[in-house]
């Protein structure tokens, strides 16, 4: 289980884009002149900030992977039926 946790954490970091991009951007408000933080990078097709990657791509991919693991656990013949149904419903949702 420890190896799986490390692989899942590494996968999350790589998919989220934690390695290279900046954490969050900033822009100047044209009305007040104050600097505002921005989360979504505009102007670049394949560009993203770390916050955007964590909230969208990485989190959704990891949820999908955990769902597949739960569906696999639901197929175990040695578990009670109620536990199998719980795993299956959590894996599908």
Per-residue pLDDT of the chain (93 residues; tens, 9 = 90+): 688 888 888 877 777 666 666 677 788 888 888 998 877 777 766 666 666 667 677 778 888 888 888 888 898 889 999 999 998 999 887
Question: How far is 41 from 11, CA to CA, in rounded Å?
Answer: 22
**Residue 42: its pLDDT value, please?**
73
**Residue 46: its pLDDT value, please?**
65
Residue ranges of domains in the chain? 2-92
pTM: 0.57
**Residue 86: its pLDDT value, please?**
92
């Amino acid at each position: 289980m420890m190896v799986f946790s490390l692989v899942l954490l590494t996968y999350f970091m790589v998919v989220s884009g934690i390695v290279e991009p900046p954490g969050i951007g900033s822009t100047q408000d044209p009305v007040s002149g104050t600097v505002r933080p921005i989360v979504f990078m505009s102007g670049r097709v394949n560009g993203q900030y770390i916050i955007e990657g964590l909230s969208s791509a990485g989190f959704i991919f990891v949820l999908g992977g955990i769902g597949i693991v739960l569906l696999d656990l639901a197929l175990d013949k040695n578990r009670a039926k109620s536990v199998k149904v719980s795993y299956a419903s959590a894996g599908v949702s």
